[in-house]
Amino acid sequence: MGTTILDAARELGVGIENICGGRQTCAKCRVNVATGQFAKYGLTSSAEHVSPVESREAAYRDEKAIRADERLACVTKVCGDVVINVPPEAQAQKQVVRKSASNRVIDVDPAVRQVYIEVEPAAIGDRRSDLERVQQALRTQWGFEQVTLDAKAIPMLGKVLREGQWKVTVTIWQEREIIRLLPRYAEGMIGLALDLGTTSIAAYLCDLRTGEVLATETAMNPQIAYGEDLMSRVSYGMMNADGVSKLHRAVIRAVNALAVNATKACQLRPEDIVDMVIVGNPIMEHLLLGIDPVELGGAPFALTVRQALDLKARDMGLKLHPGAYVHLLPAQAGHVGADCTAVALAEAPHKSAELTLIVDVGTNAEILLGDEHGLLSASSPTGPAFEGAQIVHGQRAAPGAIERVRIDPQTLEARFKIIGQELWSDALPAEAINATGICGSGIIEAVVEMFLAGIINGEGRFIEREHPRLIADADGRRRSYLLASAEQSSSGTPIVITQADVRAIQLAKAALYAGVKLLMTHYGNPNIQRILLAGAFGSYIDPKYAMMLGLIPDCDLARVVAVGNAAGDGARIALLNKGQRLEATHIAQTVQYVETATDKDFQTAFVEAIHIPHAVDKFPHLADSLPANIGVGAERKRRRTTTQVMVNSALSDQSPLPTETDS
Amino acid sequence: MGTTILDAARELGVGIENICGGRQTCAKCRVNVATGQFAKYGLTSSAEHVSPVESREAAYRDEKAIRADERLACVTKVCGDVVINVPPEAQAQKQVVRKSASNRVIDVDPAVRQVYIEVEPAAIGDRRSDLERVQQALRTQWGFEQVTLDAKAIPMLGKVLREGQWKVTVTIWQEREIIRLLPRYAEGMIGLALDLGTTSIAAYLCDLRTGEVLATETAMNPQIAYGEDLMSRVSYGMMNADGVSKLHRAVIRAVNALAVNATKACQLRPEDIVDMVIVGNPIMEHLLLGIDPVELGGAPFALTVRQALDLKARDMGLKLHPGAYVHLLPAQAGHVGADCTAVALAEAPHKSAELTLIVDVGTNAEILLGDEHGLLSASSPTGPAFEGAQIVHGQRAAPGAIERVRIDPQTLEARFKIIGQELWSDALPAEAINATGICGSGIIEAVVEMFLAGIINGEGRFIEREHPRLIADADGRRRSYLLASAEQSSSGTPIVITQADVRAIQLAKAALYAGVKLLMTHYGNPNIQRILLAGAFGSYIDPKYAMMLGLIPDCDLARVVAVGNAAGDGARIALLNKGQRLEATHIAQTVQYVETATDKDFQTAFVEAIHIPHAVDKFPHLADSLPANIGVGAERKRRRTTTQVMVNSALSDQSPLPTETDS
């Protein structure tokens, strides 16, 4: 007779949403009492078997427009056999599915919790302070012991209690600190997950009750003004008296601006953000914290901090809610940061039976290799070429950028596709194309196609000759390839791929591949069962071309998947689930880190990987179509880059080239 | 053979000072090895029975000028029977004696501790961060587990470690947070204890290793500009849109200025302050925290916070070391604050077998009554009259102020003594006196003497008549007494006591006495064994006159003692000893608070205590010398203030009046 549906469900292990603590305020616990015989349970359920609607509930039902078939689980008592249907919106444990390779289900259980309490009013003879009475309400109504009050909330406490007539909604961090007080019953608990990249910053504004992403905002990292890659920023900090401070202030301003923009998109304010998770590579995180990253610029690459940190946003200069904390996920070593930990958190390779290689390509590439038996990690300094920087007509992946390229090996004519258009360039009038530049995936395809068409050799050198597509430079040397004509370009200037562009891509891919190679060597050169390409770049790249360029090792092409911004997803997971923060620390502590910067095998692998792996062994049909001089290059290369020849086996049945009969 | 003197002493329960952890850096552990036979121990001690000076120690001895008979306990090993003399400066447990009624010995054991560590340098293959290596050094070298790093210290960590070549001195708060890092071995740990009074603020800068007070600074509370007493400040906050914020900012500025001045006096900077304790009455503490004190202006007088708080100084707007915490002692109830808790901590009446009354007279009076069986506390709104405010020629106790007054009952001539001069006014030429005004103790003596000389009656009214000492006002009424002539005054204006002055003192003393009376009633009207007068005012007041005015109840006059600024001393004790902070919480939780503001007995007692208690019953020799009309007043008063008649028994053998034979 005395048990509410809420309590009965809890005893049976079914959580029903309940923010107000059974005070008929939140109306989140609406359930249906089923009617009829339930043979499988051996009972007859009836609306008569629960307590009738009492006067207070009746009034409340009108106010909240509760349907006739709905009852509030918090006040409705079980009086006999009943079957209760709990609709999804009333289920306590919200879940979000990460739409990616892993399709992981994330329980929404954030580090902040918001509860409604009714506080004993101040009275003569009661010496207790407002805070003590709030603490008592939290203890008796929610079971929170020893909750403190953030310094910045102290001046508000008395006002909020009286404005709410002793009914307040309290936001509590990690079950131990009140960080926000709102009068009366209130909803709304917003968090921000941030992926702080060298080139770009991505912010995800999340509803911390439902787990929903409310807004996604990205911005360029303004530190680019002080250096495009990590090492140039370290140098800037070293060479300029105020350098570190400038870099620090620039990124803090950028994060604050993202918080403003993301909240504005939802008619919210940055002060509504009550929790935040940030991931980034070590140098980005050090600069974020105001730490001079000079130690990360040379051996022994000592991190100042590596563990997860919980810091007050205000102490970092971040303008969120005054009481909000920022959680920084743990880094692993000098070159593998919280972003890599976040990728592992998002893709959970350490929980997979399949041997997985994860490559997160940014200005630095983070590489993870392993399965449920253990993980290896490494970092490779790819530089920003894959992000379109250091390429003459390079640009970020954005509408107008050339993202796909095909070159006819006979005519050397190019056809391409730009982001934002359905049709390829050869299906459009030249003036309708308006190409603005070439992005990372475009340049990768261009280099592979240029090699296959005999425009460059396996060493990446232009095979110079008279041809309308080969443009002469000031010295008269024909070492640029005309990809898009002046008519096809938005600026009226032709878009070309230069010798320097090819070199930049070769260096970037060699760095990445050498890192992968190093981990594979450490692992005993295993057969990789799946490859996940993470990062914005990973989403655009065609896995076939990545393999043909020698970016990633041999694998069933169907098992190479782009997983988007996995680091950002990992940050979001840690924002939504406090247990995953502990999981991140577990990952960071157990992953085996392999230092590329001081490994001589890495240097060797890097030099070997400079070349473009030829596809002749695996694609014999190509042999005839290749110009004679390519064969020579391939001969030399085969000797020097034996480990890379295996790379392309997966391409055999999915050749991107015109299918011809085998010779 | 392997045990150092340091370790051996520790095992025997004798602490030897040791900051560097036995690394021959601090030279604090210098001890003497005694030589000769020690019959009482049954052994022969010899310098041969300890290990010889080794090369490293020898070099170090030269550097630090260590005397030949001194050995470093941290490296000298015990090899046989020895007697070791540990000089006071080498004893680990520093103590300070509080020079007061209690002469309490305070162990120096502050909430911050400073230790020297040698950290493993960063090395290739060691993935740990600088912070992890510091944490490990703290664990292995000092036994500190789980120490975190303050957010504001994060940017310094790497720099300090490298500047100090991995030898650093770490300041740790409450054994759990690194708040400061200094390169190499460093000494110096400074704290500030602050008594935040309604009228004045006193700051004590302390050496946290020795317990020594390095500087004492006082300042007026700048909030006086917004209202002299507490209630007028509450009103100011209520009546002005920006009022609370103005009051808050004013006190924060004042505390920051005191920190600057106190440190400047010792060639230090406010950033050298690594710990702070603040005590004050509830309204002062609420304003300090930016809390609108409006709730303390009326019943039920609800405090916003009552428990002890540890807040970052920076979160309060205080400019100390960036990592410093401020500890606020706990308050007891709406009108009895941390200042009263601090007085109890300093005087420890709850540890005394004697029933003790403590009166801390400020703009509010805090009253404590009790012994080891329990304590009662109350607060009385005395207003600032005792501090010289609201008195026409009133001033704070400072050089030039009249502090002692005697009036000849025959001639009504006054003689007085001013602060800063040895001789009384009648022993000095008029022009050498330069009286600037009258302070609290002076006005109390003046009112008592005026009553005894028949200038005023028991109701405090002037007995008007023609007399050169009785000055006529504009209405021709002679209701001012000429205390110091124009020649005796520094300004050339006579110093007088007006009817309004007498009224102000009557109201103040009645409020105080009514509070004392209320506690005594609650206690069952016990015999008080000693009375402690706390506060700056308490130091100047003559206990006899306090009793004659009816300020304090009956007690052996020899057991009435001025204890100076006990609240400030309590703050200092909590600064020097972290265990005393827990003791303060214990006091605050166990003291029984009696609310004066809503108690009808208090109102009655207040009205009754307005009169000046006549001394006739206890001093029959006075009967003849009193003018006839005093007798009438005394008759009326005797009926109404029976509880006060007992007040003066202690005066019988120490009468301040001319000794005459009993009539």
User: Does pLDDT of A648 surpass 70?
Assistant: no
Q: Are residue B173 and residue B201 in the same domain, yes or no?
A: no
Residue A157 has its nearest CB partner, among B123, B157, B304, at B304
Confidence grade of residue A25 (pLDDT, cut at 50, 70, 90): confident
- The domain boundary, picked from B149, B183, B217, lies at B183
- B287, closest residue in chain A (CA to CA): A155
Q: What is the pLDDT of residue B175?
A: 96
A90-117 per-position pLDDT tens digit: 887 677 665 555 567 889 999 999 999 9
CB contact under 8 A, B152 and A123: no
Confidence grade of residue A657 (pLDDT, cut at 50, 70, 90): very low
Q: What is the pLDDT of residue A143?
A: 94
Q: What is the pLDDT of residue A618?
A: 47
CATH number at residue B289: 3.30.420.480
Q: What is the pLDDT of residue B98?
A: 58
* Helices assigned H by DSSP within B5-102: 5-11, 55-64
Residue B307 has its nearest CB partner, among A132, A311, A598, at A132
Q: Are residue A636 and residue A524 in the same domain, yes or no?
A: yes
B75-91 per-position pLDDT tens digit: 899 888 888 888 877 88
CA angle B223, B224, B230 (to 5 degrees): 85
Residue A514 vs residue A386, higher pLDDT: A514
- The domain boundary, picked from A486, A504, A522, lies at A504
Please state, rounded to an integer, the average pLDDT across all residues of chain B.
Answer: 87
Q: What is the pLDDT of residue B55?
A: 80
Q: What is the pLDDT of residue B650?
A: 30
Q: What is the pLDDT of residue A2?
A: 74
Which residues from A are below 8 Å from B151, CB to CB?
311-312, 315-316
What is the Cβ-side half-sphere exposure of residue A287, based on CA atoms within 13 angstroms? Answer: 37
SS3 per residue for B268-328: CCHHHEEEEEEEECHHHHHHHCCCCHHHHHCCCCCCCCCCCEEEEHHHHCCCCCCCCEEEE
User: Does pLDDT of B106 surpass 60?
Assistant: yes
Q: What is the pLDDT of residue B97?
A: 64
The DSSP symbol for A333 reads: B
CB contact under 8 A, A306 and B159: no
User: Does pLDDT of A170 surpass 90?
Assistant: yes
The DSSP symbol for B527 reads: P
Tell me if B433 sits within 8 A of B418, measured CB to CB. Answer: yes
Residue A566 vs residue A23, higher pLDDT: A566
| A113, containing H or E segment | strand A112-118
Q: What is the pLDDT of residue A100?
A: 53
Dist CA A89 CA A144 (whole Å) = 25
Backbone angles phi, psi at B44, to 5 degrees: -115, 120
User: Does pLDDT of A660 surpass 50?
Assistant: no
User: Does pLDDT of B114 surpass 70?
Assistant: yes
If one counts the domains in chain B, the total is 5
A519-549 per-position pLDDT tens digit: 999 999 999 999 999 987 777 888 889 988 9
Nearest to A279 by CA among A339, A367, A326, A324: A339
Which amino acid, one-letter code, is at A423? L
CATH number at residue B83: 3.10.20.30
Confidence grade of residue B1 (pLDDT, cut at 50, 70, 90): low
Residue B130 has its nearest CB partner, among A152, A303, A331, at A303
Backbone angles phi, psi at A335, to 5 degrees: -115, -5
Q: Are residue A389 and residue A323 in the same domain, yes or no?
A: no
Q: In what order do the strands lie in the sheet with A470-472?
A: A470-472, A478-484, A495-498
Only one residue has tokens 């502990």, namely A582
Q: What is the pLDDT of residue B637?
A: 33
Dist CA A617 CA B373 (whole Å) = 97
Residue A158 has its nearest CB partner, among B132, B295, B311, at B295
**Domain-located, residue A107:** no
Domain span holding position B293: 190-340
- B120, closest residue in chain A (CA to CA): A302
Contacts of A157 (CB under 8 A, 6+ apart): A130, A131, A134, A149, A181, B291, B304, B305
Q: Helix A154-163 crosses helix A130-142 at what angle (to 10 degrees)?
A: 70
CB contact under 8 A, B305 and A131: yes
Q: What is the pLDDT of residue A449?
A: 95
Nearest to B121 by CA among B173, B158, B96, B82: B158
B45-68 per-position pLDDT tens digit: 888 889 988 887 887 888 778 888
Nearest to A325 by CA among A461, A174, A522: A174
Q: What is the pLDDT of residue B102?
A: 54
How many residues in chain A? 663
**Paired sense of beta strands B530-534 and B560-564, if any:** parallel
Residue of A129, A599, A602 to mutate, testing the B interface (most B Cβ within 10 Å of its Cβ): A129
Q: Are residue B205 and residue B80 in the same domain, yes or no?
A: no
SS3 per residue for B406-422: EECCCCCCEEEEECCCC
Please state, rounded to an integer, the average pLDDT across all residues of chain A.
Answer: 87
> Which of A95-104, B115-124, B163-172, B250-259 is predicted least confidently?
A95-104
Tell me if A551 sits within 8 A of A508, measured CB to CB. Answer: no
User: Does pLDDT of A642 surpass 60?
Assistant: no
- What is the average per-residue pLDDT within A339-359? 95
Report how far Cα B616 is from the mean position of its chain's Cα atoms.
37
Outline where DSSP puts E strands in A527-629. Answer: 530-534, 560-564, 592-593
**Paired sense of beta strands A374-380 and A592-593, if any:** parallel
DSSP conformation letters of A373-395: TEEEEEEE---GGGGTTTSTTB-
User: Does pLDDT of A646 surpass 60?
Assistant: no
Q: Are residue B367 and residue B402 in the same domain, yes or no?
A: no
User: Does pLDDT of A652 surpass 50?
Assistant: no
The DSSP symbol for A577 reads: B
Dist CA A297 CA A243 (whole Å) = 15
Tell me if A312 sits within 8 A of B151, measured CB to CB. Answer: yes
A604-636 per-position pLDDT tens digit: 999 989 998 865 444 444 334 333 333 223 333
The DSSP bridge partners found for residue B217 are B203
pTM over 0.90: no
> Which of A466-480, A541-555, B89-103 is predicted least confidently?
B89-103
Outline where DSSP puts E strands in B119-189. Answer: 148-149, 167-173, 177-183
**Domain-located, residue B98:** no
> Which of A407-411, A650-654, B255-259 is predicted least confidently?
A650-654
- A333, closest residue in chain B (CA to CA): B127
- A148, closest residue in chain B (CA to CA): B309
Q: Are residue A314 and residue A393 in the same domain, yes or no?
A: no
- The domain boundary, picked from A183, A204, A234, lies at A183
**Domain-located, residue B577:** yes
**Domain-located, residue A421:** yes
**Domain-located, residue B624:** yes
| A311, containing H or E segment | strand A309-312
The DSSP bridge partners found for residue A43 are A38
Q: Are residue A514 and residue A657 in the same domain, yes or no?
A: yes
CATH number at residue A167: 3.10.20.880
SS3 B192: strand
> Which of A35-39, B410-414, B571-575 is predicted least confidently?
A35-39
Backbone angles phi, psi at A593, to 5 degrees: -90, 135
- A326, closest residue in chain B (CA to CA): B151
Dist CA B404 CA B389 (whole Å) = 18
Q: Are residue B233 and residue B321 in the same domain, yes or no?
A: yes
SS3 B448: helix
User: Does pLDDT of A651 surpass 60?
Assistant: no
Q: Helix B499-523 crosses helix B440-452 at what angle (to 10 degrees)?
A: 100
- What is the average per-residue pLDDT within B552-572? 90
A310-348 per-position pLDDT tens digit: 999 999 999 999 999 999 999 999 889 999 999 999 999
Nearest C-alpha of chain B: how many angstroms from A127?
A: 5
Contacts of B609 (CB under 8 A, 6+ apart): B509, B510, B511, B513, B514, B517, B550, B641, B644
Dist CA A624 CA B506 (whole Å) = 117
Q: What is the pLDDT of residue A637?
A: 33
Q: In what order do the strands lie in the sheet with B84-85?
A: B70-72, B30-33, B84-85
Q: Are residue B618 and residue B597 in the same domain, yes or no?
A: yes
The DSSP symbol for A489 reads: B
**Paired sense of beta strands B365-371 and B356-361, if any:** antiparallel
**Domain-located, residue B242:** yes
Q: Are residue A201 and residue A331 in the same domain, yes or no?
A: yes
What is the signed CA dihedral for A194, A227, A435, A557, rounded to 10 degrees? -60
**Domain-located, residue A104:** no
Dist CA A505 CA A385 (whole Å) = 6
Q: Are residue B620 and residue B527 in the same domain, yes or no?
A: yes
Residue A51 vs residue A618, higher pLDDT: A51
Dist CA B561 CA B167 (whole Å) = 51
Tell me if A394 sits within 8 A of A383, measured CB to CB. Answer: no
Which residues from B are below 8 Å from A127, CB to CB?
303, 306, 332-334, 593
Q: Which two tokens stand for residue A245?
A: 């401070």
Q: Are residue A274 and residue A320 in the same domain, yes or no?
A: yes
| B220, containing H or E segment | strand B213-220
- What is the average per-residue pLDDT within A221-234? 87
**Domain-located, residue A565:** yes
Confidence grade of residue B653 (pLDDT, cut at 50, 70, 90): very low
Dist CA B614 CA B243 (whole Å) = 45
Chain A interface with B: residues with Cβ < 8 Å: 122-132, 149, 151-152, 154-155, 157-159, 289-292, 295, 299-300, 302-307, 311-312, 315-316, 331-334, 593, 595, 598
Which residues from B are below 8 Å from A158, CB to CB?
291-292, 295, 302, 304
